[in-house]
Amino acid sequence: MNDTTSFDGLLLGAHLVTLDGADYGVIEDGALGWTDGVLTFVGPRASLPADAESLAGEVIETDGGWVTPALVDCHTHVVFAGDRAHEFELRLQGASYEEIARAGGGILSTVRAVRAASEDELHAESMPRAAALLRDGVATLEIKSGYGLDFDNERKMLRVARRIGETLGITVRTTFLGAHALPPEFSGRADDYIDAVIDWLPRLHAEGLVDAVDAFCEGIGFTPAQTRRVFETARALDLPVKLHADQLSDLGGAALAAEFGGLSADHVEYTNDDAVRAMAESGTVAVLLPGAFHCLRETKLPPLAAFRAHGVPMAVATDCNPGTAPVLSLREAMSLACTHFRLTPEEALRGATEHAARALGLHDRGVLRVGLRADLALWNIRRPAELCYWLGGDLSRGVWSAGERR
């Protein structure tokens, strides 16, 4: 806390899950105060200055409940058109993800739908998904491109992502994922397509549409050498990188992300011990995506023990996308992370707050601490573990972004 006695907003009566310390950093019967969107008081209600309530611009009496940092969904593909429910049926009938992709389904089916949609249509289709995440506690959202696969449609996706942030009043970080799949017009010419991606990136960045750069480094995606070329272009533009790494095989993707000081390596089911050590040295976050693991009925677990042993932060995200992770709740992903990956509820919550913020290069949120953003979520629960315990349900009583209720 500090000596400030005047607040724009003052929230009273809830238990605080600050995550600033061990055992959730719990403060019972707590108080949060903020000014200009930044927390200026975090502590027991009894420690507030005597005149705090009378000087506050707004006083919010919660009458119980719990407050956590607002959730951060650090890996999503929420901007898309159409759906791929038919592929869900095909997988249940025995078709593999690779088989569907190689037959012209998968990412390319969504590409066709995105290309056919206008910017307004794409915004209208995508908004309900982002709004669902907000209702479930998310105030910071990463949104990737990657379903346009040409300049105009990648640009359209990134513009829609920016509009979503403005419409909802939350933070949206945009990630350029031009190297997501090979579009049909470049069939058999993957290197030529990477040339095109490298040409688009500076142009999109100049328009203020790109916060980070990603690629799909996989046998059905792009090779490490091709990914390296994209990353070198990003580095020349001083843009951070992230990577879809080691999801279906070990091509050294996580190690490549670490070599470039990547914000994160995502999926990481097949990441080897050497790559884990490289991630630890570079500060690269491991983003766990249990929704895709669940929907694809995968069995290869990420190297969780190695991540813990080497101190690699583990984030949790929805991977919300139309094909392999139609997940519209970050709490659901947290629950799946506990069930499939054996994370503790506290690990899962930290993974969807402080570690997820780090995976986006954001160090001003994810913990309830004086000096950080007043991004918080109020929950109708009796203990923090319930955030992972319940499968679905309407637990959120409110979400604040920089002190503004959304």
The reply, when asked if residue 323 is annotated as ligand binding, is yes
The reply, when asked if residue 15 is annotated as ligand binding, is no
Nearby residues of 209 by Cβ (< 8 Å), 6 or more positions away: 155, 158, 159, 162, 174, 176
CB 148 within 8 A of CB 111: yes
For 194-205, the DSSP string reads HHHHHHHHHHHH
Distance, in Å, from the CA atom of 147 to the CA atom of 210, rounded to the nearest integer, reads 15
Distance, in Å, from the CA atom of 16 to the CA atom of 23, rounded to the nearest integer, reads 12
The reply, when asked if residue 270 is annotated as ligand binding, is no
Beta bridge pairs of residue 376: 69, 400
The reply, when asked if residue 321 is annotated as ligand binding, is yes
The reply, when asked if residue 247 is annotated as ligand binding, is yes
Q: Where are the alpha helices (DSSP H) in 117-252?
A: 119-135, 151-168, 190-206, 224-236
Instruction: Report in angstroms the alpha-carbon separations of 290 from 88, 116, 334, 356.
Output: 17, 31, 8, 14
The reply, when asked if residue 18 is annotated as ligand binding, is no
Cα 173 → chain centroid:
9
Q: Where are the alpha helices (DSSP H) in 136-185?
A: 151-168
The reply, when asked if residue 324 is annotated as ligand binding, is yes
The reply, when asked if residue 340 is annotated as ligand binding, is no
The separation between the first and the last C-alpha atoms of the chain, rounded to the nearest angstrom, is 25
Sign of CA dihedral 389, 391, 396, 401: positive
The reply, when asked if residue 244 is annotated as ligand binding, is yes
CB 255 within 8 A of CB 224: no
User: What residues form the annotated binding site?
Assistant: 75, 77, 84, 147, 180, 244, 247, 319, 321, 323-324
User: What residues form the annotated binding site for Zn(2+)?
Assistant: 75, 77, 244, 319
User: What residues form the annotated binding site for N-formimidoyl-L-glutamate?
Assistant: 147, 321, 323
User: What residues form the annotated binding site for Fe(3+)?
Assistant: 75, 77, 244, 319
